[in-house]
Amino acid sequence: MITVENVRKVFPLPKGEEFVALGDVSLALQDNEFVTVVGPSGCGKSTLLNILAGLETPTRGRALVDGEPVTGPGPERGVIFQQYALFPWLTVRKNVEFGLRNRGVPRAERRATADHFIELVGLERFADALPKTLSGGMKQRVAIARAYAVNPSILLMDEPFGAVDALTRVRLQEQLLATWSQERRTVLFITHDVDEAVFLANRVVVMAARPGRIAEIVDVDLPYPRTEESRLSPRFTALRNRVWSAVYHQESVA
Amino acid sequence: MTLVEAETDVAVSRGELGRRAPGVPRTVLNLISVLVGLGVWWGASLTGIDIPGPAVVLKRGMELAADGTLGADVLASVKRVLSGFLLGVLAAVPVGFLMGWYPAVRALVEPWIQFFRTIPPLALIPLAIVLMGIEETPKIFVIFLASFLSCVIATLQGVLTVDRTLLNAARVLGANDRVIFARVVIPASSPFILVGMRIGLGSSWATLVAAELIAAQQGLGYRMQSAQLYYDLPTIFVGLISIGLLGLLMDRLLLLAERRLTDWQETR
């Protein structure tokens, strides 16, 4: 259970000005929900994720995970970054084992866990390869396996498929849902892609900029597992159109 | 699973993308270049310019090798270069890391480093002699300084350019500061450190000969200096070529280490 209570985040700018990344944001995620956050750049969606990850502290308000205030990164929260953030000097398996090693998991157990998640993302043939030999989509799958390996109850994903081509992106979305259906977690997924937001989520949070705030929350009542049919269904189109206009026809407050 | 198959092909072929131009292999071209150079040298020595030809220099080199002078000189010089260079690297790496990690350390140390960087290490020789005498210490000290200064800047640069996302990724995976330092900062800055070491080795060699002018009894620089008094050009050539070959050898060894240690880098 994730709760965001009246979070405000202000970044100081040079010349004494300030940028209000998040105005006054409140949000609650139930366990095992898949929530996507979509909005224009500058709406504070990445800031919101960083606060939940414990990489930023809110200027005001607080973020709670299972009732506990977030004060820093924690093992129950896995983070997946847009730039993959794989350690380039470690093999795929060593990357996936990184978090387990920090926890002092014995070698044999580490390896078994890593291999399980590498297999889950379909990269068992590349377990001993260095990241530089992998394509962007494969790297992101390694990052997903690495986040899963430490067994977090929450996955925070910051535009994870933003840097891959459209075709790969669709495959990765399907694969992410397949992984999620086998290993249920609470997912907060940031994206700027409306289709992606609707296809993945059971709730879409639409944010607006200046100041960063939640404009609308759209429930996606499409059943899982989602397939190509879901993507092409009239219901999907209707939801997509609704989210689209919420994102692109925002009245400005400022 | 068609996607995985397609990506497999990409991943494999990417590794095999050679950059070699078709035609003559590189080593053959290298060899031709060396032979042409020797030919030009030999030709020049025949035209009446007052330099010894390759054959004369080779003969002198063999004489010096036979009576043990060359071996002793090489040993003395290599010992000085290696001790100064290694001490410089050993000091530079921790200092560079501390400067990169703690802004306060950087602010305290950097003015001195930037100041000493503008002074050629050779300019410190008179001071070093006065303060440290004429034994090995002042020679090794200036070589140490040359290697330290190039290596410390490279290490600092390496730490400063560590990708913030990698640090964040390590933190969210439960790494504490010690682990982040050992398993992220050090490997991420290793390419910079190795480049700094190569540059440091270059400046160490550059400083050697002048350092050996300080009342040395042995060493390639000393040998050339004393040969100058007797107009013994072949010996000067033997010294020059020895320094060049040894420097090249050490640089290649470091390059090899660099290749092995930083093979993970995306661009090469």
Are the Cβ atoms of A171 and B14 closer than 8 angstroms? no
Tokens of B25: 């292999």
Cis omega before residue A211 (within 30°)?
yes
For A60-84, the pLDDT digits (tens) are 999 999 889 999 998 889 999 988 8
For A178-217, the pLDDT digits (tens) are 889 888 899 999 998 999 999 999 999 999 988 899 999 9
B28 burial class (0-12, 13-18, 19+ CB within 10 angstroms)?
exposed
CATH of the domain at A40: 3.40.50.300
Shortest Cα distance, chain A CAs vs residue B26, angstroms? 26
Domain for residue A123, yes or no? no
Domain B52-261 has CATH 1.10.3720.10: yes
- Whole-angstrom distance, CA of residue B130 vs CA of residue B215: 13
> How many alpha carbons fall within 13 Å on the CB side of residue A28?
5
- Facing residue for A102 by CB, picked from B8, B11, B179: B179
Using the predicted structure, report yes or no on whether residue A250 has a pLDDT greater than 80: no
Are the Cβ atoms of A133 and B15 closer than 8 angstroms? yes
Domain for residue A140, yes or no? no
For B200-249, the pLDDT digits (tens) are 998 888 888 778 876 678 889 889 888 988 988 999 999 999 999 998 99
Are the Cβ atoms of A133 and B14 closer than 8 angstroms? yes
Which residues of chain B have a CB within 8 Å of the CB of A130? 263-264
Are the Cβ atoms of A138 and B188 closer than 8 angstroms? no
pLDDT of residue A136: 87
Give the total number of structural domains in chain A: 1
Are the Cβ atoms of B264 and A89 closer than 8 angstroms? yes
- Whole-angstrom distance, CA of residue B241 vs CA of residue B215: 22
- What domain range is A229 assigned to? 2-76+152-253
Pairing of strands A213-219, A203-208: antiparallel
Tokens of B131: 């303060």
Provide DSSP, B97-156.
HHHHH-HHHHHHHHHHHHHHHTS-GGGGHHHHHHHH-SSHHHHHHHHHHHHHHHHHHHHH
- Facing residue for B172 by CB, picked from A77, A132, A134: A77
Please give the average per-residue pLDDT across A96-121, as a whole number: 92
Domain for residue A126, yes or no? no
Are the Cβ atoms of A130 and B187 closer than 8 angstroms? no
Looking at chain B, which residue has its C-alpha nearest residue A89?
Answer: B264
Tokens of A141: 């799958």
Domain for residue A184, yes or no? yes
Please give the backbone phi and psi of residue A118, each rounded to the nearest 5 degrees, phi first: -65, -40
Give the long-range contacts of residues A63-72, CB within 8 A, separation 24 or more.
A63/A2, A63/A3, A63/A4, A63/A5, A63/A7, A64/A2, A64/A3, A64/A4, A64/A5, A65/A1, A65/A2, A65/A3, A65/A154, A66/A1, A66/A153, A67/A1, A67/A3, A72/B171
pLDDT of residue A47: 93
Beta bridge partners of residue A19, listed in sequence order? A11
